[in-house]
Amino acid sequence: MADPTYTPPKIWTWDKESGGRFASINRPIAGPTHDKELPVGKHPFQLYSLGTPNGVKVTIMFEELLAAGFKAAEYDAWLINIGEGAQFSSGFVDINPNSKIPALMDHSTTPPTRLFESGSMLLYLAEKFGAFLPKDHYKRTEAINWLFWQMGSAPFLGGGFGHFYAYAPEKYEYPINRYAMEVKRQLDVLDRHLKVNEYFAGDEYSIADMAIWPWYGALVTGAVYDAGEFLQVHEYTNVIRWMKQVGARPGVKRGAMVNRTFGKPESQLRERHDASDFDTRTQDKLEPQS
């Protein structure tokens, strides 16, 4: 049991055995740990990712673009296993110096363009294809407001609440209280907005919905950190209405399957290199149960 009244030493030192779910991959230094080139497939976009909420934002955007008829949005989605440290390969760090999924290359430009940070990818793709970002000045600004809200807020949900409630080796009241309060405040922010707006940018579905849905949509289902009862997520009825509405979109359903390594085998398309992979390469087809 760690000392609950820990007094920080004068100089912080790295405790490699600190415990917690991601202790083995967390380091206080950046840069690659090993040399490895990343594979490059046949499509203009090469995504290196995993089916976590941050990864799913981008696969939803690609599937929505393809569903809307933008054939130039074809992409290969390669699996990056962050539990095994694949985000620290030299090839990955060349794209994302921050060593976090998702990382994306656009090979349709000369030279190719690197992208890191899921919000940057959503904005880049929306501008490139002229889609899912309203044209109207006020709605466009509102979509970008909420896109940046998500980027700034989700770390309190994941890195704050999720870390201390679900992943830390021991439970402490102070950080769990602090972050439960913040996450409930965030849910109330969303709930009040969605009470008077169909989507985040008003009546237009946009990249803001794609950014927020994988985190806060999942949270109100109770699936995230198994915290539905603790946070009383059923109270946020407007978020639940929006979560169901967005979740019913075919592009969202497909995007949520890509690079997914957990859940029902038929919901996992661990790598996507062709649209037909949804029919032929889900985990139930690749590894049929006997």
Ligand X SMILES: N[C@@H](CCC(=O)N[C@@H](CS)C(=O)NCC(=O)O)C(=O)O
Out of 61, 82, 126, 207, the only residue in the binding site for ligand X (CB under 6 A) is 82
Site string for ligand X, 229-268 (x = CB under 6 A): ----------------------------------------
C-beta of residue 53 within 8 angstroms of C-beta of residue 41:
no
**Nearest residue (CB) to ligand X, 259 versus 282:** 259
How near is the Cβ of 87 to ligand X at its closest, in Å? 5
Residue 145 CA to residue 151 CA, distance in Å, equals 10
Per rule CB under 6 A, is residue 147 in the interface with ligand X?
A: no
Closest residue to ligand X, based on beta-carbon distance: 100
Per rule CB under 6 A, is residue 167 in the interface with ligand X?
A: no
Residues 13-42 that bind ligand X (CB under 6 A): 25
Per rule CB under 6 A, is residue 49 in the interface with ligand X?
A: no
Per rule CB under 6 A, is residue 163 in the interface with ligand X?
A: no
Q: What is the DSSP string of 157-181?
A: IIIIIIIIIIISSS--HHHHHHHHH
Contacts of 18-26 with CB under 8 Å at 24 or more apart are 18/169, 19/168, 19/169, 19/170, 20/163, 20/167, 20/168, 20/169, 21/166, 21/167, 22/167, 25/82, 25/83, 25/85, 25/87
**Nearest residue (CB) to ligand X, 117 versus 182:** 117
Residue 179 CA to residue 164 CA, distance in Å, equals 8
**Nearest residue (CB) to ligand X, 73 versus 122:** 122
Stretch touching ligand X by CB under 6 A, among 98-106, 167-175, 201-209, 234-242: 98-106
**Nearest residue (CB) to ligand X, 54 versus 153:** 54
Interhelix angle 137-155/118-129, rounded to 10 degrees, is 160
Per rule CB under 6 A, is residue 52 in the interface with ligand X?
A: yes
Stretch touching ligand X by CB under 6 A, among 7-15, 100-108, 176-184, 231-239: 100-108
Residue 121 CA to residue 96 CA, distance in Å, equals 12
Residues contacting 242, CB < 8 A, separation 6+: 194, 198, 199, 209, 217
Stretch touching ligand X by CB under 6 A, among 99-107, 123-131, 161-169, 175-183: 99-107
Per rule CB under 6 A, is residue 168 in the interface with ligand X?
A: no
Out of 66, 101, 125, 201, the only residue in the binding site for ligand X (CB under 6 A) is 101
Other Cβ atoms within 10 Å of 141 Cβ, number: 12
C-beta of residue 146 within 8 angstroms of C-beta of residue 208:
yes
**Nearest residue (CB) to ligand X, 148 versus 238:** 148
Contacts with ligand X by CB under 6 A: the residue count is 11
Out of 117, 182, 271, 274, the only residue in the binding site for ligand X (CB under 6 A) is 117
**Rule CB under 6 A: which residues touch ligand X?**
25, 52, 54, 82, 87, 99-102, 117-118
